[in-house]
Structure 1
Amino acid sequence: MSEQYDAIITGSGSNGLAAAIHLQQKGLKTAIFEQASSPGGSTRTEEVTLPGFKHDIGSAILPMGVASPFFRNLPLEKHGLEWIYPDIPYSHPFADGTALACFEDIDRTAAQLYKDEKAYKQLFKPIVEKWSQIENNLLGPLSWPEHPIELLKFGFKALPSAKMLVNHYFKEEKSKVFFYGSAAHSTLPLQAIASASFGLVLSTMAHKYGWPFPKGGAGKFVEALLSYYKSLGGELFLNRKVEDVNELPEAKAYLFDLTPKQLLKLKGTDFPSLYRKRMGNYKYGAGVFKVDWALSEPIPFTNEKCRKSGTVHLGFSKAEMEESENSIHNNRVSDAPYVLLAQHSIFDDTRAPDNKHTAWAYCHVQNGSTADFTQQIEDQIEKAAPGFKDCILAKTTMNTQQLEVFNPNIIGGDINGGKQDITQLFTRPITQISPYSTPNPKVYICSSSTPPGGGVHGMCGYSAAKKVLKDHFEDLK
Structure 2
Amino acid sequence: MTRPDVVVVGSGPNGLAAAVTLARAGLRVTVLESQPTVGGGARTLDLGLADGVTHDICSAVHPMAWASPFFQQLDLAARGVELLVPEISYAQPLPDGRAGLAYRDLERTVEELGVDGAVWRSLVGGDPAATVKVALGDKRSVPLVDPRAAVHFGLGVLEQGTRAWGRRFVGDVAPALLTGVAAHTITPLPSFAAAGTALLLGTLAHAEGGWPIPRGGSGAITAALVADLEAHGGTIRTDHRVRRQADLPVAHCYVFDTTPRTLVDVLGDRLPPRDRAALTAFRYGDAAAKVDFVLDGPVPWTVPEVGRAGTVHVGGTRAEMARAESAVARGEHADLPMTLVSDPTVVDDTREVHGRRPLWTYAHVPAGSDVDVTEAVTRHIERYAPGFRDVVVTSRCVPAAHLSDHNENYVDGDISAGRASIGQLFARPTRRLDPYFSGRAGVYLCSASTPPGPGVHGLGGWFAAKRVLREFGIMALPSLAP
TM-score, structure 2 length as denominator? 0.94
The verdict on how the C-alpha distance between 1:228 and 1:318 changes in structure 2, with shifts beyond 3 A counting, is: same
Note the 1:322-361 alignment, pairs <5 A.
322-361=322-361
- After TM superposition, the structure 1 stretch with the greater mean CA deviation from structure 2, 266-275 or 322-331, is 266-275
1:475 Cα shift? 4.3
Residue 180 of structure 1 is matched in structure 2 by: 179
Q: Provide the C-alpha distance between the structure 2 equivalents of 1:29 and 1:242, rounded to a whole number of angstroms.
A: 19
Q: Provide the C-alpha distance between the structure 1 equivalents of 2:297 and 2:134, rounded to a whole number of angstroms.
A: 44
Residue type of the alignment partner of 1:403? L
1:24 Cα shift? 1.7
Work out which of the residue numbers 133, 139, 142 in structure 1 matches 2:136.
Answer: 139
Residue 154 of structure 2 is matched in structure 1 by: 155
Residue 256 of structure 1 is matched in structure 2 by: 256
Task: Give a deviation string over 1:423-469, Cα, whole Å, max 9, x none.
Answer: 10121111111010012111000101000111111111111111112
Q: Provide the C-alpha distance between the structure 2 equivalents of 1:207 and 1:134, rounded to a whole number of angstroms.
A: 12
Q: Provide the C-alpha distance between the structure 2 equivalents of 1:119 and 1:87, rounded to a whole number of angstroms.
A: 22
Residue 193 of structure 1 is matched in structure 2 by: 192
1:12 Cα shift? 0.4
1:52 and 2:52 aligned? yes
Residue 28 of structure 1 is matched in structure 2 by: 27
Note the 1:213-292 alignment, pairs <5 A.
213-267=213-267, 270-292=270-292
Aligned 8 A contact 1:245 1:269 in 2: no
Residue 108 of structure 1 is matched in structure 2 by: 108
Task: Give a deviation string over 1:369-394, Cα, whole Å, max 9, x none.
Answer: 11222222111111111100011111
Aligned 8 A contact 1:79 1:227 in 2: no
The verdict on how the C-alpha distance between 1:134 and 1:384 changes in structure 2, with shifts beyond 3 A counting, is: closer
Aligned 8 A contact 1:243 1:267 in 2: no
SS in 1 for 2:184: helix
Q: Across the two proteins, how many residue pairs are aligned to each other?
A: 473
Aligned 8 A contact 2:135 2:200 in 1: no
Residue type of the alignment partner of 2:394? A
1:149 Cα shift? 3.8
Q: Provide the C-alpha distance between the structure 2 equivalents of 1:19 and 1:169, rounded to a whole number of angstroms.
A: 43
Q: Provide the C-alpha distance between the structure 2 equivalents of 1:267 and 1:331, rounded to a whole number of angstroms.
A: 32
SS in 2 for 1:437: coil
Q: Provide the C-alpha distance between the structure 2 equivalents of 1:263 and 1:433, rounded to a whole number of angstroms.
A: 19
Q: Provide the C-alpha distance between the structure 2 equivalents of 1:101 and 1:162, rounded to a whole number of angstroms.
A: 22
Q: Provide the C-alpha distance between the structure 1 equivalents of 2:158 and 2:466, rounded to a whole number of angstroms.
A: 28
1:124 and 2:121 aligned? no
Q: Provide the C-alpha distance between the structure 1 equivalents of 2:40 and 2:46, rounded to a whole number of angstroms.
A: 17
The verdict on how the C-alpha distance between 1:161 and 1:100 changes in structure 2, with shifts beyond 3 A counting, is: closer
Task: Give a deviation string over 1:336-385, Cα, whole Å, max 9, x none.
Answer: 12111001123222223133222111111111011222222111111111
Q: Provide the C-alpha distance between the structure 2 equivalents of 1:401 and 1:354, rounded to a whole number of angstroms.
A: 33
Q: Provide the C-alpha distance between the structure 2 equivalents of 1:133 and 1:79, rounded to a whole number of angstroms.
A: 26
Residue 443 of structure 1 is matched in structure 2 by: 443
Residue type of the alignment partner of 1:191? P
Aligned 8 A contact 2:272 2:440 in 1: no
Aligned 8 A contact 2:260 2:279 in 1: yes
Aligned 8 A contact 1:159 1:194 in 2: no
Residue 76 of structure 2 is matched in structure 1 by: 76
SS in 1 for 2:258: coil
1:3 Cα shift? 1.9
Q: Provide the C-alpha distance between the structure 1 equivalents of 2:473 and 2:396, rounded to a whole number of angstroms.
A: 47
Q: Provide the C-alpha distance between the structure 1 equivalents of 2:268 and 2:320, rounded to a whole number of angstroms.
A: 48
SS in 1 for 2:395: strand
Q: Provide the C-alpha distance between the structure 2 equivalents of 1:346 and 1:194, rounded to a whole number of angstroms.
A: 30
Q: Provide the C-alpha distance between the structure 2 equivalents of 1:414 and 1:176, rounded to a whole number of angstroms.
A: 26
Q: Provide the C-alpha distance between the structure 2 equivalents of 1:98 and 1:230, rounded to a whole number of angstroms.
A: 50
Aligned 8 A contact 2:289 2:362 in 1: yes
SS in 2 for 1:43: coil
SS in 1 for 2:255: strand
Residue 459 of structure 1 is matched in structure 2 by: 459
Q: Provide the C-alpha distance between the structure 2 equivalents of 1:354 and 1:372, rounded to a whole number of angstroms.
A: 28
1:395 Cα shift? 0.3
Residue 304 of structure 1 is matched in structure 2 by: 304
Q: Provide the C-alpha distance between the structure 2 equivalents of 1:31 and 1:313, rounded to a whole number of angstroms.
A: 39
Aligned 8 A contact 1:288 1:400 in 2: yes
Q: Provide the C-alpha distance between the structure 1 equivalents of 2:269 and 2:240, rounded to a whole number of angstroms.
A: 18
Task: Give a deviation string over 1:153-173, Cα, whole Å, max 9, x none.
Answer: 211212454453531331111
Aligned 8 A contact 1:269 1:440 in 2: no
1:135 Cα shift? 2.4
The verdict on how the C-alpha distance between 1:88 and 1:117 changes in structure 2, with shifts beyond 3 A counting, is: same
Residue 433 of structure 1 is matched in structure 2 by: 433
Task: Give a deviation string over 1:168-197, Cα, whole Å, max 9, x none.
Answer: 331111211111010100111112233211
Q: Provide the C-alpha distance between the structure 1 equivalents of 2:283 and 2:376, rounded to a whole number of angstroms.
A: 27
Identity %: 36
Aligned 8 A contact 1:269 1:443 in 2: no
1:4 Cα shift? 1.9
